[in-house]
Amino acid sequence: MINKKYVKIGNSPSAIRDLFNYGLEQAKIVGPENVYDYSLGNPSIPAPAKVNETIKWLVDNVDPIKVHGYSAARGNDSFREAIANNLNKRFNLGANPDKICVTCGCIAALTATVMAITDGPDDEIVTIAPFFPAYYGVMGIPRCKLTIVPADFENFQINFDALEEKINEHTRGVIINSPNNPSGVVYTEDTIRKIAALLERKSKEYGYPIYIIADEPYRELVYGDAKVTCIPTIYDNTVVCYSWSKSLSLPGERIGYVCVPDKCENGDDLYWAVVGASSEIGSVCPPSLIQRVVEACIDEMPDLTAYDANRTLLYNSLTEIGYEMAKPDGAFYMLVKCPNGDAKAFSTRAKLEHNLLVVPTDSFGCPGYMRLSYCVSYDTIKNSIPAFKEMYEYYTK
């Protein structure tokens, strides 16, 4: 007997992938320079040079049996130490190498964390719209419920009345993703402090800790004066989920971690539950070579010059045309209001008329908007502006 649920999941179309594949096909017909593909969140800046240098050095100088052999199940000791040192040096976070679990990317980190703090279909994990739709899949194995807090359409911070309304005695955790996919918004320190105060009050009321799950793959992608608030320094019961997919441009290498800071309540049990869950989903003994590489590159930071130039060009050009959007201070996404109010119709027309590929964010809990992943070339952005202008005029004139 084949499990029908997984057949359906495995075989279901992805709107983002479909757009991306359409772009590849069109590029063969009209030329890649005439396709403006804002669909995928795949980094467009290369990993720092030290990454490739370290790979070459390891391959040439270290015993291949060790380089390619199994690592410790929860990650190499020296790697977990390097991660904890880096977090403590930069954020004074209270990270303990013995409470870090290395995972195969951030999705595995999120899945293991949700499995660790839930126990069946009555339990709820809260997410705040707009949110990354892969969270639905994250709830799949623990079979818990994803509770969605509607967006704050004013500035895409958090609608606190709506958040409070969604928290109840079944709530086990709240996912906070900042910088945010799809909005690019960075939650202010004031926003984080308000969430912390609300969750402290609610935890007391229900008599158990409601954890914050800080989903932070974009932590280092922040521009101008914006600052990413370190949530565990404000709310003790925070579990940090991270990967180097975006910060070091290594999404294909599948490397990340869960950090349970020392101040977390029930931290020992929580940590071992994460390790157990991580093993159950097969995110065990993460890639050995890449653990060694990231350990050597742990202090490397991305050069954001290209993303920042893209962000400025796209933001200035679209606002000049008349588009409205959330202030994009981080990640490499922009969340733009569709002038016709129907994002699917906008996306279809943009695709068919202009080879302009934009993602409707209905499935991100934010209908009427489109996500633009501006991790593309500067020329792609420059050349796409007339298409955005024609689309705007078509719907407004």
Tell me the CA distances in angstroms from 83 to 48, 99, 281, 299, one per residue in order.
18, 11, 22, 9
Tell me the CA distances in angstroms from 71 to 41, 81, 363, one per residue in order.
29, 15, 37
The residue (of 23 and 133) whose beta carbon lies closer to ligand PLP is 133
CB of 339 to ligand PLP, least distance (A): 26
Q: Is 215 in the site for ligand PLP (CB under 6 A)?
A: yes
The residue (of 35 and 112) whose beta carbon lies closer to ligand PLP is 112
**HSE of 267 in the Cβ direction (CA atoms, 13 Å)?**
22
Segment interacting with ligand PLP (CB under 6 A) among 7-15, 100-108, 193-201, 386-394: 100-108
Report DSSP letters for 288-341, one per residue: HHHHHHHHHTTT-----HHHHHHHHHHHHHHHHHT--B----BTTEEEEE-TTS
Residue in this structure with the two tokens 């990231």, named with its chain if needed: 294
CB of 333 to ligand PLP, least distance (A): 8
Q: Is 261 in the site for ligand PLP (CB under 6 A)?
A: no
Q: Taking CB under 6 A as the criterion, which residues in 154-183 touch ligand PLP? A: 177, 181
Q: Is 107 in the site for ligand PLP (CB under 6 A)?
A: yes
CB of 62 to ligand PLP, least distance (A): 25
Length of the chain in terms of residues written: 397
Q: Is 195 in the site for ligand PLP (CB under 6 A)?
A: no
Q: Is 278 in the site for ligand PLP (CB under 6 A)?
A: no
CB of 137 to ligand PLP, least distance (A): 11
Q: Is 217 in the site for ligand PLP (CB under 6 A)?
A: yes
**DSSP class of 95:** -
- If DSSP codes are grouped into helix, strand and coil, which group holds residue 187? coil
Q: Is 251 in the site for ligand PLP (CB under 6 A)?
A: yes
Rg of the chain (C-alpha set): 21
**Interacting residues with ligand PLP (CB under 6 A):** 41, 105-107, 132, 177, 181, 215, 217, 243, 245, 251, 256
